[in-house]
Amino acid sequence: MNHILGLSAGFHDAAVAVLNSNGNIVFAGHSERYSKIKNDPGISPDMLHELCDYDIDIVAFYERPWMHNLQQWRSGQRCYGPWTEHTAIRSYLGSWYKVPARQEVCFSHHLSHAAAGFQTSSFDEAAVVVIDAIGEMDTISIYHARYDDQGRAKYKRVWRQGYPHSIGLFYSAITKAVGLKPMEEEYITMGMAAYGTDLGAAWMKHKFVDDVETVRFKKNLHIGFDEYELSFSHNEDIAAAAQRLTEEMIMSVMRRARRLVKSDNLVYMGGVALNCVANSRLGQIYDKIWIMPNPGDAGSSLGAAALAYGERINWRDAFLGHDIPGVYPVADILDHLIAHRIVGVASGRAEFGPRALGNRSLLADPRGADIKNRVNEIKRRQKFRPFAPVILEECVNDYFEMPQNFPASRYMQIVARVRDPNSFPAITHADSTARVQTVPRDGSGIRQLLEQWYLLTGCPMLLNTSLNIRGEPMVNDRADADRFEQQYGVKVCS
């Protein structure tokens, strides 16, 4: 066997992942970074150029196209895609797919989510919880996953919930109701929640939820709320109530998983697993938790490839995309930071997943009162949104109160209370928390930069936000970085 190509496309945020015969991830990337169309559902030909050196034996699609079409029909969206894995793979790969792979396969939507999590985890067995908006006809799945004596991954689904009862659709409907873009800006709704009061959560539950335990809603929220249905004075209060109710439902699902699967290990996947405020509570139920850093549908390209491979795959880090070669420019970045300048970095392989983790980042000194406004001037985003800190992992407890059973946070998946918010206002949210990224002693570029910064200043952390031109996806290649420099007058080091 040479290589397996995993493919996720056709709905939103298309992506590919390539595994070699040793179970190593040789490439994983998002189409949007190449086409410059945010959440691009199609596969960019420019991304496929990256794959020219690989002999592809198997192409694995992340869902069953006929089941997706069935769901579209059932929900009244009469926009059907290809019906078979063959037509789907052909249509998304286009003329690049001149030499067909020996095998074309597809897997169920939620199983692809589950495999992307379990087979990248260090666990030998685990409860796997998948929560998203809709995947084929599923909205929540709980699996018991394990490896058999031959090292083959085995999945047994022990519970499911189906359309239209969906935590993800509820949160998207709330996102639309507060004036944001559903299926894209849910993370802004989550940030907005810190500015409101959640006193309306009980009313919201009574009005829309039939049963929290089984996550059953009283109405189908796929098309959103009626115009005057949410009688709140402020959008922030809607967001806060919805966040509280969402957390209650997620925790109910997790308690169910704990009862049904006798395991201390949790793998959590699906788009709802991007809600880092809710994630911070998972340690109340589970001792060991793994959320693959790309838990949404894009990450399922890796899940489909993992299912075709069948065994544990080697997860090292999330730097799996386009490569900007060269040594990480530590000295150049430090020169700018010491001079109190905001500086970009575009170096090494791009992040697979929605978070900039140091290879496509805008960096700044997190100390001082004015830095948030200065970075916001460049990013031109809502003023209420704080920026994230990236910190040497061994120093994290000196600056943050980490949530239970999360000693580290290498992929910005949880929030932690800031011990001294007044000293770090730029990275502190309205509720005194921060979405912290910890960096272990892994020899990465961002690790070397933080070590040098700490030596020079005594501060082990930097402000880290994604490097992107407003309205565009994250910077991918050097040409994007050059455009960023011209547009904002901010140096991007490579």
The CB-nearest residue to Fe ion is 132
Contact residue for Fe ion among 135, 200, 386, 460 (CB under 5 A): 135
Contact residue for Fe ion among 40, 138, 297, 393 (CB under 5 A): 297
Of residues 66, 22, 96, the one with CA closest to residue 4 = 22
- What's the closest the beta carbon of residue 7 comes to Fe ion, in angstroms? 14
CA distance 440 to 300: 26
Of residues 442, 453, 458, 444, the one with CA closest to residue 332 = 453
E-only strand ranges, 199-250 = 209-211, 216-217
- What's the closest the beta carbon of residue 131 comes to Fe ion, in angstroms? 9
- What's the closest the beta carbon of residue 62 comes to Fe ion, in angstroms? 8
Q: Which is nearer to Fe ion, 166 or 437 (CB)?
A: 166
Which positions from 63 through 82 interact with Fe ion, judged by CB under 5 A? none
CA distance 204 to 185: 21
Interface pattern 408-447 for Fe ion (x via CB under 5 A): ----------------------------------------
Q: Is the dihedral of CA 75, 59, 42, 478 positive or negative?
A: positive
Contact present, 60 and 304 (Cβ < 8 Å)? yes
CA distance 343 to 189: 28
| Contact window for Fe ion (CB under 5 A) among 49-57, 170-178, 296-304, 442-450 | 296-304
Q: Which helix (H) or strand (E) holds 30?
A: strand 25-30
The yes or no reply on residue 50 touching Fe ion (CB under 5 A) is no
Q: Which is nearer to Fe ion, 297 or 365 (CB)?
A: 297
E-only strand ranges, 169-258 = 209-211, 216-217
- Looking up tokens 């990337």, which residue turns up? 29
Which positions from 177 through 206 interact with Fe ion, judged by CB under 5 A? none
Task: Report the 10 Å Cβ neighbour count for 374.
Answer: 15
Contact residue for Fe ion among 13, 50, 63, 132 (CB under 5 A): 132
| Contact window for Fe ion (CB under 5 A) among 128-136, 212-220, 370-378, 389-397 | 128-136
Q: Which is nearer to Fe ion, 135 or 344 (CB)?
A: 135
| Contact window for Fe ion (CB under 5 A) among 5-13, 79-87, 291-299, 366-374 | 291-299
Strand partners, 433: 417
Give the residues lining the site for Fe ion (CB under 5 A): 132, 135, 297
